[in-house]
Structure 1
Amino acid sequence: MKIFLRPLMPLLLFLILPDLAFAFICPVHCSCSTPEAIFCFQRRSPTIPNPKEVHHSIKNFYLFSNGIETITAQDFDGLHHLEMLDLSQNKLTQLPDRVFEPLTSLKNLDLSSNQITHISKECFHGMAQLERLYLYSNQIKAIHPTAFNGLEHLLELKLQGNMLTSLPTLSMPQLLLLDLRFNVLPSLGPSDLQTPNLESLKLGGVGLTSLNKELIGSLKNLHELDISENQLKSFPSALKETPGLFSLSLAGNPMGPLKAEDMQNLKELHELDISSLSLQGLPEELSQLFSHLRKLTVAENPFNCLCNLAWFPRWLRAQSITLERTEETRCHFPPVNAGKVLERLEHRDFGCPTTTTVTTSTVKTTTTTLSVPVTTFPTTTRVIQVPRASDNPADKEDFPLPPVPVSTSTSSSIDPELHFCPPHTCLNGGTCHLDQNGQVECTCSHGTSGMYCEVQNPSPPSLPPAEPPKATVTSDPPEISSHQATATSILLDLHRYIEMRPYIRGIRLTYRNLSGPDRRPIQLSLPASFPEYRLRGLNPNSTYTVCVSPLGSPSGIDSICTEANTAPESTRGPDARSESPKITTMLVPATAILLLLMLIAVAVGVVCYLRRKKAKGHLDLDCEPPQLELDGVKAGLDNVSLPHKQPQLVIPEPAVQNGNLEYEVLLVQDNSTSNNNMSSHKPSYF
């Protein structure tokens, strides 16, 4: 009985489960991973697969990037259960009338990235169940006024990236998303969009010069609005009465600075894009308005990273707001912050005024608005001491500060660039402004000089000098000093500065070149265990100002400055003179070793000669190997194939950065040989 039934098993299964026999029918050059889905990718065929090869129970049919040029209604015969059809990235130029009529259950149709030029009257006839229609990235210039009639269940319509100049009336009561970006539709009104339940409207790059207030007012359920890349020259008044927005994009409009009062009714925003608006700053009131904000984009704006923007990075961290396109959100001004990522700046980087303590030889007082420097003049350097806290807390005697001279500028109008200078940049009544290169300069008042007007010049001899106040003159050595080392380096002596501050953990060292066009400061961080430090990579015959302050303290607090000069460049530096002793030291042992080897060779030759003379015919036994052994070695080399050892390519050690702008190349390199024919290796930066 079992033997009789075994050949009939396939026939019985075919009769019992007829659908199973067709479930795995798959068209040629396609993939059928599940019985309900067919993937036909890059078939390179101008037509759709034969419908006889497709089972009628299929629900998802993917035909993207196949080179299909034409479709007909017969291509979809029998596919009554199909719910998703993907014909994107093909070469369709037109859609025949009623071409999708056999697909009575279709809900999703993707025709994007084809070459369709127009939408006819009955193109989508019979598609009452359609929910998503994607027509973006085509060449559509015209849509028949009744082309979308009957699509009452449509939820999403994407038409972006076409050539539309007008839009038929969209009467779609269930539509939730409409994407019209990058067409030419500058005058959309409420009669064009009869979509009362619309949640997302994207009008980026359609040429809007204003936003229709009645159109936005008719969309009571609107949550997402994109009006980027238009020609809006001011904040749209229609948005002032749209409190339900969750996402808003204003990027790329020439609307100028934002005002907090314009956005009072947008407190429910979760996402905001205000990139590419030529913004130089942001009103701090925004931090009080957007309590629900989670994503913010402010990229490609020329921000002035000054004190009035110091709140921004702190607010982002406090509210856990994600700053999109972080690397494209950078400072434009001042030069010290130019190019830095805005989100990564600390509060001290914005140049905000800080509370300082002023100490002089005759005056001890505390103030928050004025600083009086003490200047001494050593023989080779000029030390500029920024005031710091008094070391003697028991001294309680205070005196009033001397008056500050008033600037004698003849101009009655205030230069607008003065607002960009950090406060108290220029001392003794000097006026701060920027030169053509964006560098900070000070115009000093009468009787003062120096880069920051820190030097008070003595009165002319013709005038009777006023009796100076009696003061105790101290001759303490400067806390930092410098010495000329070479044309490209300066040796700094920090012994006294560290001894007077045993509490500091590190030193912030800042220096800039006063002789060249680029005066931007360069900062280094040093441990407190460095009583001496050599600045390298400097320009010859230049004047540098060098300042040190405790690491971690606000900029300008307890800072000591000095000026130093590098020597002129010469063809033979001091290092060249020190080479001869080294060479002599190396040559003496080498010569001695060579002489010793020569003596040993002579001695061996004499011994061999005497043995030959004494042995009389047995000369080869002691001094040379036998001929048989030589033949045996040769035979071994001939019979045994030895592998050729490849020469080892040794790459020199890379240049090592010493913490400054100068790089030092290691002179002693292990496992490397000299080869003048080897091409030089360029350093890799990746």
Structure 2
Amino acid sequence: MLRFGVLLLLLAQPARCSACPPGCACSEAAQTVKCVSKELRFVPAGIPAYTRNLFITGNRISRLGPGSFAGLDNVTTLSLSNNRISEVASHTFSSLHNLRSLDLSSNQLALIHPEAFAVPGLMLKELNLSRALYNHSSVMDLATSLRWSGLEGLQSLDLSGNGLIYLPPRIFSHLSGLRRLQLANNSIVSIYNETFSGLGQLEELDLSLNALKIFGDEGLAELEHVPGAKLHLGDNPYMCTCGIEPFTAWLNASRVRVVDVERLVCLFPVELRNTSLLAAGSLVLGCHRTGEGDNLALQTSYVFLGIVLGFVGLMFLFVLYLNRKGIKKRVYDMRDACREVWEGYHYRYEIDSDPRLSQVSTTADV
């Protein structure tokens, strides 16, 4: 009887092996299937139904569609990194009713359909899209997908290393349950209004290794939209000019929130390179002193100009005083000349207006 049982076990062993797709390694005990670096062009068929952890990485799969994972209801962890995936169709993962972690890192996503990440029952908790977007323009497709895929239960989103230049307004507003947001190693130049709208439960925000030169009023307001989040702001090219004063004041008041606050330094101008932003406030006060000096110099110029004009005016009056007699004589001469001219015009007018005087004038001329 014992031999018969052993025989059955031996017969079952090859069957279990044959249930594993070619190019994959399956472990029923660990409920894990790995299809790693086998040049696969499609998600292999026949993956065992017991699979909870599925790793299909380092292959040449270009597209994922709704039928790619049919029958895999038990999968909770799915890694599809480094597969050259360029398109993810809507409802690709809809058959994965228990999916909690999805890794699409190191792919080339150029076309992301509106409901690409839709998973039933708000089960998806972690989504890794680091180094996954084909270029920074793919962020618009991503924003639409995040809005339409019903990811209110998502807790961790990794978008690091995607060369993102900007983030559309309210891109994360439908991820109300998000706790951790990774935006490191991009090219983000500024944070605008409503960038982090709807992320009231965020606990960690990583903005390190970007192109942030300054946080203006809008950017600081966005950081205040996530008051409970620990912030990573290091390795950005901060420009320590007078406009950075509100940011340095905010940093000094928010040291507990900024994890790497001690490592935040100025990159520009060159003479302030590697100066701590925490100490930049005193340097910014120097900007104010410079401004006051400029105003003082301008006021001094106005005073000097007034003095010069006053001196010129006094000199003019002094010259008039010294030549008062000659000026008076000239005035009298001009008055007499004007009077003579006026009397001549008046006399001529009387002659022309009276015919008798005109006749007398003519006779006198004869």
Match of 1:219 in 2: 226
How far off its partner does 1:199 sit?
1.9
Match of 1:179 in 2: 182
The unaligned stretches of length 5 or more in structure 1 are: 258-275, 285-686
Match of 2:80 in 1: 87
Match of 2:125 among 117, 120, 131: 131
Separation in 2 of the partners of 1:175 and 1:23? 41
How far off its partner does 1:175 sit?
1.3
Match of 1:101 in 2: 94
How far off its partner does 1:279 sit?
3.2
Q: Is the 8 A contact 2:251 2:278 kept in 1?
A: no
- The code of the aligned residue for 2:224 comes to G
Q: Are residue 28 (structure 1) and residue 35 (structure 2) matched?
A: no
Distance 1:111 1:191, change over 3 A: closer
Match of 1:45 in 2: 40
The unaligned stretches of length 5 or more in structure 2 are: 280-366
How far off its partner does 1:24 sit?
8.3
- The code of the aligned residue for 1:180 comes to L
- Classify the secondary structure of the residue corresponding to 1:103: coil
Match of 1:241 in 2: 253
Q: Which has the higher helix share?
A: 2
Match of 1:254 in 2: 267
Separation in 2 of the partners of 1:247 and 1:64? 33
Distance 1:67 1:27, change over 3 A: same
How far off its partner does 1:45 sit?
1.9
Separation in 2 of the partners of 1:44 and 1:6? 42
Q: Are residue 199 (structure 1) and residue 200 (structure 2) matched?
A: no
Separation in 1 of the partners of 2:276 and 2:163? 37
Q: Which has the higher strand share?
A: 1
How far off its partner does 1:118 sit?
4.2
Q: Is the 8 A contact 2:233 2:258 kept in 1?
A: no
Q: Is the 8 A contact 2:31 2:52 kept in 1?
A: yes
Q: Are residue 158 (structure 1) and residue 148 (structure 2) matched?
A: no
Match of 2:215 in 1: 210
How far off its partner does 1:47 sit?
1.4
Distance 1:282 1:134, change over 3 A: closer
Distance 1:84 1:280, change over 3 A: closer
Match of 1:344 in 2: none
Separation in 2 of the partners of 1:31 and 1:243? 49
Distance 1:282 1:242, change over 3 A: closer
- The code of the aligned residue for 2:193 comes to G
How far off its partner does 1:241 sit?
3.4
Q: Is the 8 A contact 2:172 2:195 kept in 1?
A: yes
- Classify the secondary structure of the residue corresponding to 1:216: helix
How far off its partner does 1:89 sit?
0.9
* Paired residues for 1:119-518 under 5 Å: 119-127=112-120, 128-137=122-131, 138-139=133-134, 140-143=138-141, 145-149=143-147, 150-164=150-164, 165-167=166-168, 168-181=171-184, 182-184=186-188, 186-190=190-194, 192-204=196-208, 205-211=210-216, 212-233=219-240, 234=244, 236=247, 237-245=249-257, 247-248=259-260, 251=264, 253-254=266-267, 278-279=273-274
Separation in 1 of the partners of 2:91 and 2:278? 56
Q: Is the 8 A contact 2:197 2:225 kept in 1?
A: no
- The code of the aligned residue for 1:254 comes to L
- Aligned CA-pair RMSD: 3.5
How far off its partner does 1:69 sit?
1.6
Match of 1:384 in 2: none
Task: Output the TM-score relative to the length of structure 2.
Answer: 0.61
How far off its partner does 1:111 sit?
0.7
Match of 2:307 in 1: none
Separation in 2 of the partners of 1:35 and 1:42? 20
Task: Output the TM-score relative to the length of structure 1.
Answer: 0.34
How far off its partner does 1:232 sit?
4.0
Separation in 1 of the partners of 2:193 and 2:25? 47
Q: Is the 8 A contact 2:196 2:225 kept in 1?
A: no
Separation in 2 of the partners of 1:206 and 1:192? 18
